Amino acid sequence: MPECRKCVIAGRVQGVYYRAATQQRARELGVTGHARNLPDGRVEVLVCGEPAAVEALCEWLWQGPPHARVTELACATAEVDAPLGFKTV
């Protein structure tokens, strides 16, 4: 059974390729979900998959792409059906 987490990332995370880089890393790790911009400047990421791969992506979210500057990351277990693939919204 896949594990799902919803993470909200704050800082300089919009306009710096954060969602696309997250999608690329998610595909490398074999997890599914989405990354989307929130109206307040944060990014929301849903990630589902094997627990170790989910944890690896959640840790990577602190770093993000080179121009990102993450100041806050909050992740919580999400009770959702795991989506197919990983998309940016």
pLDDT per residue as tens digits for the range 3-58:
999 999 999 999 999 999 999 999 999 999 999 999 999 999 999 999 999 999 99
Token output for 18: 């954060």
Is 33 within a domain? yes
CATH number at residue 46: 3.30.70.100
**Catalytic site residues?**
19, 37
Is 88 within a domain? no
Identify residue 60 by its one-letter amino acid code: W
**Half-sphere exposure for 83 (CA within 13 Å, toward CB):** 15
Is 86 within a domain? no
Range of the domain at 10: 3-81
Q: How far is CA 23 from CA 69, 89, in A?
A: 18, 11
Instruction: Please count the helices (runs of H) and the strands (runs of E) in the chain.
Output: 2, 5
pLDDT per residue as tens digits for the range 46-67:
999 999 999 999 999 999 999 9
pLDDT at 1: 75
- Phi, psi dihedral angles at 46 (to 5 degrees): -105, 130
pTM value is: 0.95
Is 25 within a domain? yes
Is 40 within a domain? yes
Domain count, the chain: 1
Is 87 within a domain? no
